[in-house]
Structure 1
Amino acid sequence: MHRLNILTLLFLSNFTFAQKLDKKYAHQPIISHIYTADPSAHVFNGKIYIYPSHDIATDKPNTNGDHFDMRDYHVFSMDSIGGKVIDHGVALDLKDVPWADRQLWAPDAAAKNGKYYLYFPAKDKNGIFRMGVAVSKSPVGLFKAQPNFIKDSFSIDPSVFQDDDGESYMYFGGIWGGQLQQWATGTFDKNETRKEVRAANEVALTGKIAKLKSNMLEFSEKPKDVVLLDSFGKPLLTGDQDRRFFEGAWVFKHQNKYYFTYSTGSTHKIVYAIGDNPYGPFTYKGVVLNPVQGWTTHHSIINIKGNFYLFYHDTELSGKSHLRNVKIAPLHISESGVIQTVNPFIK
């Protein structure tokens, strides 16, 4: 009860703050008893499951994202949008991942052959982010981690897309704390401390894609760049902060087109680009979600019963960048395939 009272006070405090800015939140947190972020939502057997990261209070400094010191994952479910959200408890704990040392950041999940796979980044014993996978017979776990990380994996924000032909692909990557810039030369550079390793007029760093083997536990190929283009067919440049990739990839298919959605990072937008196959290239089209309250922005998109929904996070409950909460918004896509931008605030 004490915890709930604190969260209520935080909510009211932030609500008042938003009113002072002449803004009100457009959507309400769906989970309030713990802090959650980076929601990966899926529909398995007609039911909605959410795989978020679990934010915790910490006194670690904001150095390369070290204050995001998550240590376990909870799985949540709901029978329908707007329905009761059930917390199924800890599905995977850091101490049960043999190769991992710290920071269980944004995860994703997939289902195949009667099994469920939880994909997650964590820093290994050398402080390098890698991708792990854990397996369960239930979508809510418990998940058992594989003894080693996925070979050739690196950086953060795994997102697994399963195409109509049964093939599965992992998209991943995040700049700055996600270490993607430290892999710019193809191998990890522990001495690289810059957030940007390319000039403003050079082609931007971008997310990665790798097809998964049928066992869902390994890459079947070396990761490749996700090519992002402007409307003239030119690659997006490092200085193009409104459109270039930063982190948080999520791919879905609509009208036989592939939508690559992602966070722009420094400009705090979720944007989208469209391609003709899982590898792209993807042409930039527009904004999915305008900037939220809080530094980070990370999302997922599902289609249930013919309707699209956007899952995202902000900091309404805490007002702190590392203590976030998950929200849901309807997502409208026109007959021509244009996504209507979601605003996290209303006037």
Structure 2
Amino acid sequence: MAFLGGRESAEAQTNAVKPIVVKENLAENLAEKFANVSPKLTSNDGNPLLDFMFTADPTAVEYNGRIYVYGTNDHQQYEHVGKDGKNSYEHIRTLVMISTDDMVNWTYHGLIDTAKLAPWSQNSWAPSITSRLEADGKTHFYLYYSNGGGGSAVLTSTSPVGPWSDPLGKNIVDRSVPGVDVDAPFDPGVVIDDQGTGWLTFGGGTPKTKYMPDNARIVKLGADMISLASNVAKIPAPYFFEASDLNFINGTWVYTYNTSWEQRTEWPYTNIDKPTQCSMSYMTSKTPLNPDSWKYRDNYFKNTGDVNVGPLTNNHTHLFKFKGKYYIAYHAMYLQDYFSTKGGFRNVGIEEIQVDEENVNIPMGKATFKGPSQLNPLNPFVLQQAETTAGTSGQVQFEAVGNVGNMVAKGKTDKQCLMVRGADFSKQIPAKFEARVKGKGTIDVYVNDLKGTPVVSLICDGKEWTTLSKKIKHKIDKGVGNIYFVFNGEGFLFDEWKFIY
């Protein structure tokens, strides 16, 4: 991340700010202009997590009070084939990184370029991540991903946003490994148990039978997390299709997977309902390398198309705990209408779910547009990144600048909007606003909605990064509200901001 410290003071930059004339009808035009650009900007919806690009197949890891979510970059495929093309995944060679501390304002950290990091690989889909504190005093992150359908690869880092490296130069599992007798050893799911041992699940491909496809696999990882330390074992998952994932809850391994589109013609369980087509189910075991130990438990997440959150699609979830609550991350086709496409492009959403840890029961979850509630208010008086948003005016663009994981918003000749939710002005009323910017452009700041006059406006006209500051002339009421940043200017860059009292 970039920081304001060490640069010219905000006061010294005040003279660089030019006055701006605000037209009386600007707010009304803005509300109309942004009305249909996103399901989030002018609503209280929290899903999808990002509304300016397509993402899918989520995984998550907690670090320093934040949850970091990683996903398949469906947007790369969209950019290759266009709105009239299909999401057939072959152009995807990057993974998306985002994070939050409150579950509604998400910081976009950019992309992991697997084509550059692992040029021997073919694609990068469906990541799964874990971390642990190691002897060097650093937290090490291990990110496994599908190298197309041919295998699963792994990247490592000592930061949740990189830089990432390829420690093996090959797949960690593929058909060259004994026991990996499946067509598609992809969609990895990783967990570290209470003894510090890593485990990896994966699988997919042509089913041997409809009811018991025999394509799900699990293996123990070596102490280095990048080698295998056991034989590859089978998981007898009914109507298994893909999307393996793994959790460890109360001494129990919890395996989740996506069921197939096949009709449920066979079902031996009299006290458990058949899983619906292309839904998510889970199994549990105390001895995961013993296939007979796995017990089918239930279906816990239906296809998003079955609950009217976009059309029917494939399914991929990740269960995680953050700040004492359980959540399910998944994907749905939230944004297709907003991007004028029917090509099958997906977006990550999240729902809170109540997990019974004692009995290791996962209740039925449900995809929504609303998403989870905000865990804590956003502090507008500390430095915030422009790439942290709860909603945008749709196809906003960002680019990497400075430190790894830092992005900046790019202006256009047409106005764009960034919004953050739940900013806390209940204790202090700000006197000034400052932002780090570059290029020729403007920022109008609104609080609570896009109506009325901006509380403050900045104009920048400089070739170098500068911090601009201006007094707020329009009162901000005490309370918790949303902040909207309306900006434009071809080539204009917006990095970070804060209010000052």
Specify if TM > 0.5.
yes
* Residue 133 of structure 1, aligned match among 154, 166, 169: 154
Whether the aligned pair in 1 keeps the contact of 2:38 and 2:51 (CA below 8 Å) is: no
Counterpart of 1:16? none
User: 1:206: how far off?
Assistant: 3.0
Instruction: Tell me the SS of whatever aligns to 2:125.
Output: coil
Counterpart of 2:141? 116
| CA deviation profile, 1:228-261 (whole Å, cap 9, x unmatched) | 4xxxxxxx4xxxxxxx211111222223322211
- Paired residues, number: 288
Counterpart of 1:86? 107
Amino acid at match of 1:268: C
> Matched residues in 2 for 1:147 and 1:322: separation?
33
Residues 30 and 298 (structure 1 numbering): CA distance in 2 closer, same or farther, change over 3 Å? same
Counterpart of 2:460? none
Counterpart of 1:330? 352
* Residue 74 of structure 1, aligned match among 82, 88, 96: 96
Whether the aligned pair in 1 keeps the contact of 2:327 and 2:351 (CA below 8 Å) is: yes
> Matched residues in 1 for 2:168 and 2:219: separation?
21
| CA deviation profile, 1:143-199 (whole Å, cap 9, x unmatched) | 112352235435211111100000001111123xxxxx3xxxxxxxxxxxxxx3x24
Percent identity (aligned): 24
Task: For structure 2, list consecutive stretches of 5 or more residues without a partner in the other structure.
Answer: 1-31, 40-44, 176-184, 262-276, 306-311, 370-501
> Matched residues in 2 for 1:52 and 1:216: separation?
21
Residue 54 (structure 1) aligned with residue 79 (structure 2): no
User: 1:275: how far off?
Assistant: 1.6
Counterpart of 1:343? 366
- Flag the structure with larger Rg: 2
Instruction: Tell me the SS of whatever aligns to 1:95.
Output: helix
User: 1:108: how far off?
Assistant: 1.4
Counterpart of 2:228? 219
* Residue 205 of structure 1, aligned match among 210, 214, 217: 214
Amino acid at match of 1:211: K
Residue 258 (structure 1) aligned with residue 253 (structure 2): yes
| RMSD between superposed Cα atoms in Å | 2.9
Instruction: Tell me the SS of whatever aligns to 2:360.
Output: coil
Q: Which residues of 2 match residues 168-247 of structure 1 at below 5 A?
A: 168-175=198-205, 181=206, 196=207, 198-200=208-210, 203-228=212-237, 236=238, 244-247=239-242
TM-score under structure 2 length normalisation:
0.52
| CA deviation profile, 1:36-80 (whole Å, cap 9, x unmatched) | 100101212332011111103143986xx8445312112111113
Amino acid at match of 1:264: T
Whether the aligned pair in 1 keeps the contact of 2:200 and 2:218 (CA below 8 Å) is: yes
Residues 69 and 164 (structure 1 numbering): CA distance in 2 closer, same or farther, change over 3 Å? same
Whether the aligned pair in 1 keeps the contact of 2:153 and 2:173 (CA below 8 Å) is: no
> Matched residues in 2 for 1:200 and 1:299: separation?
22
Whether the aligned pair in 1 keeps the contact of 2:252 and 2:284 (CA below 8 Å) is: yes
User: 1:322: how far off?
Assistant: 3.6
| CA deviation profile, 1:73-121 (whole Å, cap 9, x unmatched) | 1211111323x21111123331331321x32111112223232122112
> Matched residues in 1 for 2:35 and 2:226: separation?
42
> Matched residues in 1 for 2:365 and 2:231: separation?
35
* Residue 163 of structure 2, aligned match among 131, 138, 142: 142
* Residue 32 of structure 1, aligned match among 48, 51, 56: 51
Amino acid at match of 2:286: D
Residues 306 and 98 (structure 1 numbering): CA distance in 2 closer, same or farther, change over 3 Å? same
> Matched residues in 2 for 1:53 and 1:81: separation?
20
User: 1:9: how far off?
Assistant: 4.2
Residue 283 (structure 1) aligned with residue 283 (structure 2): no
Counterpart of 1:233? none
> Matched residues in 1 for 2:188 and 2:324: separation?
26
Residues 8 and 134 (structure 1 numbering): CA distance in 2 closer, same or farther, change over 3 Å? farther
Counterpart of 1:162? 192
Whether the aligned pair in 2 keeps the contact of 1:212 and 1:219 (CA below 8 Å) is: yes
Instruction: Tell me the SS of whatever aligns to 2:147.
Output: strand
Whether the aligned pair in 1 keeps the contact of 2:142 and 2:155 (CA below 8 Å) is: yes
TM-score under structure 1 length normalisation:
0.74
Instruction: Tell me the SS of whatever aligns to 1:94.
Output: helix
Residues 6 and 31 (structure 1 numbering): CA distance in 2 closer, same or farther, change over 3 Å? farther
> Matched residues in 1 for 2:280 and 2:359: separation?
20
Instruction: Tell me the SS of whatever aligns to 2:116.
Output: helix
Counterpart of 1:314? 332
> Matched residues in 2 for 1:321 and 1:331: separation?
30
Amino acid at match of 1:40: T
Amino acid at match of 2:204: G
Instruction: Tell me the SS of whatever aligns to 2:334.
Output: coil
Residues 89 and 152 (structure 1 numbering): CA distance in 2 closer, same or farther, change over 3 Å? closer
Instruction: Tell me the SS of whatever aligns to 1:91.
Output: strand
User: 1:345: how far off?
Assistant: 5.1
Residue 299 (structure 1) aligned with residue 317 (structure 2): yes
> Matched residues in 2 for 1:144 and 1:7: separation?
40
User: 1:8: how far off?
Assistant: 7.2
Whether the aligned pair in 2 keeps the contact of 1:132 and 1:146 (CA below 8 Å) is: no
Whether the aligned pair in 2 keeps the contact of 1:150 and 1:218 (CA below 8 Å) is: no
| CA deviation profile, 1:119-144 (whole Å, cap 9, x unmatched) | 11214xxxx61221122121111211
Residues 151 and 249 (structure 1 numbering): CA distance in 2 closer, same or farther, change over 3 Å? closer
Residue 272 (structure 1) aligned with residue 267 (structure 2): no
Counterpart of 1:99? 120
Residues 314 and 90 (structure 1 numbering): CA distance in 2 closer, same or farther, change over 3 Å? same
